[in-house]
Structure 1
Amino acid sequence: MTAQTQDSGKVALVTGASRGIGYGIAEALVARGDRVAITGRNEEALKEAVEQLGADRVIGIAGKAHDEAHQAAAVEATMAAFGRVDYLVNNAGTNPVFGPIAELDLGVARKVFETNVISALGFAQQTWKAWQKENGGAIVNIASVAAISASPFIGAYGMSKAAMVNLTLQLAHELAPGVRVNSIAPAVIKTKFAQALYEGREEEAAAAYPLGRLGMPEDIGGAAEFLLSDRSGWITGQTLVVDGGIFLKAGVH
């Protein structure tokens, strides 16, 4: 946080934020003056992210997103450190398989849904009970364009993200009027998580986008920051597609 940035008085919990999209969102929230709790599986990577973001404004809670004990511990630690949790960003996700769903191991499919969908519901339940039920707030779920189109070779991931879009609708309906719930559906963002989709062919991959480049974590950070602000105070239950214009291409959607 720069000397010019005032404390917003708001607190966010961002899951899966030691790098990539989650880190980009945490960075945007810290920059506007929020205090932020971030989670991640790797304790060392998490510590490094906290130092980079600013240990005076950020805490890290290591654990696996699908672990209910971790979900509870993350919210408890946020409340203990900051006294509130206004915003939740469900970003933690996994995509451990690349191939046709006709040959997909069902155990892997369950793992994908457990991490990408059930964990998001768990974090939402914990945040609701701890703060948002009585005080309001906002939730942003990170989905994917894979949720709204066929997704060759990452079908299980796409299915889980489609479920997350519907989870957004269910929560938005149930938690209104105090809590707004929206989701963001990014196209390919330049992160380690998405490397397989562009590594060794980035120029070719970027050429498919009308805006001429792949997305960056800060692109999603800006969108999330907007949805977690009073400027979006009359928006709930929506999925914001952030795709560099890729769906403008004939036949993509």
Structure 2
Amino acid sequence: MTGRFAGKTAIVTGASRGIGLAVAERLVADGARVVITARKQEALDEAVARLGGPETALAVAGKADDAEHQADTVRQAIDTFGSVDFLVNNTGINPAYGPLVDLDLAVARKIVEVNCVAAVSWVQHAYRSWMREHGGAIVNVSSLSSVRTAPNIGFYGATKAMLNSLTELLAVELGPGIRVNGVAPAVVKTKFATALYEGREEEAARAYPLKRLGETEDIGGAVAFLLSPDAAWMTGQTVVIDGGVSLTAGE
């Protein structure tokens, strides 16, 4: 669309579909090469084809919280495209639904591991392998539930609140050469969020001043902005992208 990311390489985790794929598509449209990760190779291969093939996209399958996978992804990004200029920590899980008093604590630990610890680990690998010497920009994908109570997905929201705090800490530690920001979407129409709107989308959207749920492209555009020179004086911020729903009383 603009070519503003020509010569730049981005790693986008959890990018075989949904928000991650939309972010990758926007970055490619703006001239970047992308390295995408997810667990399933077949889905990643389909995403690479959608992104323009091996000249613009590389897929590395693995678990987001696997340190060996993280190191291998960063290594392949540098070997294939020559740099790791951007990192988008998009992977997030929420296998628990219900009140905290009923939460399986083993599941809770796994959510923290994937949503928070893994994000820090990805930053460490990108920093040590490239960004420490060359600079870069990072975006962490959070959630509106990190700043507004979300019944039954409260622990997921708590981990995203921790991610917001990590965004602030990393921004302070890594400046001025590396900027770190975040986005906090409300409900976006993805497979991950299906349970929050399926069969009642019109009703779900009623509370939103913009009268619609989010599209993945809404988040892709915001992430691209935060990675771009247009956001050169922004760091440590988590931008709420929610169609205005946080301005309403809700239910």
Structure-2 separation of matches of 1:72 and 1:24: 24
Aligned to 2:245: 246
Query: Cα offset for 1:104?
Result: 0.3
Structure-1 separation of matches of 2:192 and 2:4: 33
Structure-2 separation of matches of 1:224 and 1:126: 21
Summarize the Cα distance change of 1:123–1:7 in structure 2 as closer, same or farther, 3 Å threshold: closer
Q: Which runs of 4+ in 1 moved over 3 A?
A: 4-7
Query: Cα offset for 1:207?
Result: 1.1
Aligned to 2:110: 111
Aligned to 1:207: 206
Aligned to 2:20: 22
TM-score by length of 1: 0.96
Structure-1 separation of matches of 2:170 and 2:247: 30
8 Å Cα contact 2:209-2:243 kept in structure 1: yes
Query: Cα offset for 1:5?
Result: 5.2
Classify the secondary structure of the residue corresponding to 2:180: strand
Classify the secondary structure of the residue corresponding to 1:139: strand
Aligned to 1:219: 218
Query: Cα offset for 1:251?
Result: 5.8
8 Å Cα contact 2:92-2:115 kept in structure 1: yes
Per-residue CA distance 1:114-160 (angstroms, 9 max, x = gap): 01111100100000011110110100000001001111000111011
Structure-1 separation of matches of 2:104 and 2:3: 49
Query: Cα offset for 1:250?
Result: 2.9
Amino acid at match of 1:191: T
**2:64 pairs with 1:65:** yes
Classify the secondary structure of the residue corresponding to 2:11: strand
Aligned to 1:183: 182
Query: Cα offset for 1:25?
Result: 0.4
Number of equivalenced pairs: 250
Q: Report the identity percentage.
A: 56
Amino acid at match of 1:45: A
8 Å Cα contact 2:16-2:43 kept in structure 1: yes
Alignment of 1:1-80 (within 5 A): 8-55=6-53, 56-80=55-79
Amino acid at match of 2:7: G
Amino acid at match of 1:183: G
8 Å Cα contact 2:4-2:228 kept in structure 1: no
TM-score by length of 2: 0.97
8 Å Cα contact 2:23-2:224 kept in structure 1: yes
Aligned to 1:232: 231
Structure-1 separation of matches of 2:222 and 2:96: 28
Structure-1 separation of matches of 2:154 and 2:211: 26
Structure 2 residue runs of 5 or longer lacking an equivalent are none
Structure-2 separation of matches of 1:12 and 1:234: 20
Amino acid at match of 2:116: V
Structure 1 residue runs of 5 or longer lacking an equivalent are none
